[in-house]
């Protein structure tokens, strides 16, 4: 199936076009089956889409009570005395989704799921990683690393994280029938959620990611956390291997920072250095991959139209 790239004017236009694509997919799929499974992302890119989608649901374009959702990622180590405080911390992705989408819906989804990062005690995690170095290894070439547990960790806590937190989230998605449509953004290095540049594609279903020092320092510098000690040092994230198992993937990108990763993901070779490049193989295997970009993010792509044509990538200027 060819990759389709929609090129829009600006962020607002991008959000409108993407919301229309998602809305049509929801309506068509609900006609065929009882429930719809929607994959969601955080960050600035999908916020406009969520507002348009909530408005459409509230106006009766589709029944939001027939939808269940799964988010891409969540922090481990958010400040709080207990799980409830961590879940509702202003920087949690659960809190973000309530503010930006779930709280806008008059009729709520069947169920909303976010990776179970807030269940993990970060201090205990670090203690167990230090005490049982033979239970895990770091995968990745860049700063952010995937912490991969061996088949049967000796640490009961690490075993619980592996089976209940990581594999448990994947099982829940599978039990729901898989994701019908996954919304994703893209980071400056071509990463999806916390699947950072350099983390291998293989065995990247649900990841425990050790955040790099720059990510932590930037979170403090930007005012999200008061200190490095208070900031999360880990995250739970879908990996690209799981993201691109959805029937349809809609990628949103706008602005100057996204120019290079967008171009590299479609013009270059498939490489873990640019995690979203995995989408090329996904499309070849029959996946439905859609990019919705503003004019700025699409700038470099448009200078290589012949290469895009050879790769069966369809450009639609809307």
In sequence order, the 6+-apart residues with CB closer than 8 A to the CB of 286 are 1
- Of 68-77, 246-255, 302-311, give the lowest mean pLDDT range: 302-311
140: which 2 tokens?
């990745």
Q: Tell me how many domains the chain contains.
A: 1
Separation of alpha carbons 214 and 144, rounded Å: 9
| SS3 label, residue 239 | coil
163: which 2 tokens?
């089976």
Determine the pLDDT at residue 169.
Answer: 98
Q: Give residue 184's domain range.
A: 3-317
| Res 33 pLDDT > 80 | yes
Strand residues in the chain grouped as ranges (E): 3-8, 36-40, 67-71, 73-76, 111-113, 136-139, 145-149, 181-184, 206-210, 234-238, 248-253, 288-294, 313-317
Mean pLDDT of the chain: 95
Looking up residue 17, the CATH number of its domain turns out to be 3.40.50.1360
Q: Output the pTM of the full model.
A: 0.96
| Res 188 pLDDT > 90 | no
73-76: strand order across its sheet: 73-76, 234-238, 206-210, 145-149, 136-139
How many contiguous H segments (helices) and E segments (strands) does the chain have? 12, 13
């Amino acid at each position: 199936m060819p990759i389709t790239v929609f090129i829009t004017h600006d962020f607002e236009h991008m959000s409108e076009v993407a919301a229309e694509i998602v809305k049509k997919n929801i309506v068509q799929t609900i006609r065929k089956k009882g429930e719809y499974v929607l994959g969601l992302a955080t960050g600035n890119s999908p916020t406009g889409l969520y507002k348009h989608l909530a408005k459409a649901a509230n106006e009766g374009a589709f029944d939001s009570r027939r939808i269940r959702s799964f988010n891409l990622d969540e922090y481990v180590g958010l400040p709080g005395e207990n799980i409830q405080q961590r879940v509702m911390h202003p920087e949690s992705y659960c809190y973000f989704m309530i503010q930006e989408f779930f709280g806008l819906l008059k009729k709520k989804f069947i169920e909303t799921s976010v990776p179970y990062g807030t269940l993990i005690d970060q201090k205990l995690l670090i203690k167990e990683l230090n005490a049982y170095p033979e239970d895990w290894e770091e995968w990745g070439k860049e700063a952010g690393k995937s912490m991969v547990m061996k088949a049967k960790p000796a640490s009961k806590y690490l075993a619980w994280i592996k089976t209940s937190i990581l594999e448990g989230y994947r099982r829940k998605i599978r039990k729901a029938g898989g994701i019908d449509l996954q919304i994703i953004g893209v980071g400056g290095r071509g990463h999806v959620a916390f699947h950072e540049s350099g983390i291998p594609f293989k065995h990247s279903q649900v990841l425990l990611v050790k955040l790099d020092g720059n990510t932590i320092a930037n979170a403090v510098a930007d005012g999200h956390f008061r200190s490095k000690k208070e900031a999360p040092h880990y995250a739970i994230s879908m990996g690209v291997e799981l993201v691109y198992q959805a029937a349809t993937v809609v990628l949103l990108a706008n602005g100057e920072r996204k120019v290079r990763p967008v171009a590299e993901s479609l013009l270059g070779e498939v490489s873990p250095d640019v995690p979203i490049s995995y989408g090329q193989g996904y499309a070849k295997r029959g996946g439905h991959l859609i990019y919705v970009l503003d004019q700025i993010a699409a700038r470099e792509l448009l200078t290589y139209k012949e290469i895009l044509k050879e790769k069966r990538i369809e450009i639609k200027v809307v």
